[in-house]
Structure 1
Amino acid sequence: MTLVRFFRADGTLDKEVEAETGQRLLDVAWAAREPLEGACEGVMACSTCHVVVASEDFAKLPAATEEEEDLLDLAAHATRTSRLACQIILTDDLESLDVRIPAGSTNWMGR
């Protein structure tokens, strides 16, 4: 299990949820009703599931692929610790994960 903490763009805590090992962060966010669209359904063809990972957690994640980095270049409000939620798979050794939902994120798909 991983304790995922979702923060608003202003840095205030929105909610905490426990997620199963093997889940994609995007699926966890959808279940928690976070405003991440994931318009491409998580096949890494857009950047609408962009999140900003806390710096202490960013180092615990596998490096982003070149394809993911290219999509992050298109994301609004991207930072050095930005990732696509569809590319983060929760693992046993990840006890917690803090992510901030960037300003302007909206789930137009209604998930």
Structure 2
Amino acid sequence: MPLIKYIDANGTEYAVEAAPGISVMEAAVKNSVPGIDGDCGGAAACATCHVYVDPEWIGRTGPAAEGLEQSMLEFAEDVTDQSRLACQIIVADNLDGLILKLPEKQH
């Protein structure tokens, strides 16, 4: 199973093995990673799973999709070019080692 690394704003790392096919938000919530709320359950309707994709990985995850994902990111704080909604990144074997940084707050 791919290993996903979540790094909180203080630099604490949480490594999670995630099954291919689920979102990185689901993997975080199932493994109690603090800082990923996922209030909408993964419907891209709340932006409480905002993450920053490490620049070395943005080529594999891609940027935020136009439309719904970009619209929801307008509700997040401190959005950058590496911002994504974790519910929109689906775990796949080619994401083994993915590094995601978490914002200071989700609201």
Number of matched pairs: 105
Q: Given that residues 21 and 90 in structure 1 are in contact (C-alpha distance below 8 angstroms), is that contact kept between their aligned partners in structure 2? A: yes
Match of residue 14 from structure 1: 13
Per-residue CA deviations over 1:48-88 (Å, capped at 9, x if unaligned) read: 11011101111111443221011112211211101001101
Per-residue CA deviations over 1:7-51 (Å, capped at 9, x if unaligned) read: 0113x2322121111121111111221221111111111111101
2:53 corresponds to 1:53: yes
Q: Which runs of 5+ in 1 are unaligned?
A: 107-111
**Which deviates further from its counterpart, 81-90 or 71-80?**
71-80
Match of residue 105 from structure 2: 104
Q: Given that residues 23 and 89 in structure 2 are in contact (C-alpha distance below 8 angstroms), is that contact kept between their aligned partners in structure 1? A: yes
Note the 1:1-111 alignment, pairs <5 A.
1-10=1-10, 12-34=11-33, 35-66=35-66, 67-105=68-106
Offset at residue 94 of structure 1 (A): 1.8
The amino acid of 1:75's aligned partner reads A
Q: Given that residues 4 and 95 in structure 2 are in contact (C-alpha distance below 8 angstroms), is that contact kept between their aligned partners in structure 1? A: no
Q: Which runs of 5+ in 2 are unaligned?
A: none
RMSD of aligned Cα (Å): 1.6
* TM-score, with length taken from structure 1: 0.85
Aligned partner of residue 29 in structure 2, secondary structure: helix
Q: Given that residues 25 and 85 in structure 1 are in contact (C-alpha distance below 8 angstroms), is that contact kept between their aligned partners in structure 2? A: yes
* TM-score, with length taken from structure 2: 0.87
